[in-house]
Amino acid sequence: MDLLLICRDALSSSLLSTTLTATEAKKAGVDVGVLFTQEALAAVCEGTFAWPTGLMGQELRYRMADSAKAMGIPTMGGKGDGRQIDVRQLVGMAKEGGVPMFACPVWAGLLGLQGKLPQGIAEVDAPTLLKMIGETKTIIGSL
């Protein structure tokens, strides 16, 4: 693999940056993958993503949703107060774009998620993950 992006934060901004970067890299012909670990893995599998404090303001979130729609980034639709970026669809968008996604085996174990991962997120064991990390040219954590 040329590029492995690691998403560990359960922040909407991290998921957005990581999945969009991976999707664009894949479109550009880069052999890219995404590893979900820690709170990001929990959120992707069974929780929710929050916005960081600096991006929580309602007016700013409306502006981001309007800009996202114009950029082709998935939104939950809605008008007025209901408009917002749909971060869950971003994982599906990356999957549809051919981006392989993986679950950290340590965190999948700690969270009791073995055999329960969402479609499109592959379970890997520790030796496979270590080999993947060792062979990857560039690794970037939490964009």
pLDDT band at 143 (very low <50, low <70, confident <90, very high): low
pLDDT at 81 over 60: no
pLDDT band at 57 (very low <50, low <70, confident <90, very high): confident
pLDDT of residue 24: 95
Between the CA of residue 142 and those of 12, 22, 34, 48, 58, what are the distances in Å?
Answer: 11, 12, 10, 17, 24
DSSP string, 75-117: B---SGGG--B-HHHHHHHHHHTT--EEE-HHHHHHTT-TT-P
pLDDT of residue 84: 76
Q: Which CATH superfamily is domain 3-50+87-141 in?
A: DsrEFH-like (3.40.1260.10)
Q: What percent of the chain has pLDDT over 70?
A: 95
Residue ranges of domains in the chain: 3-50+87-141
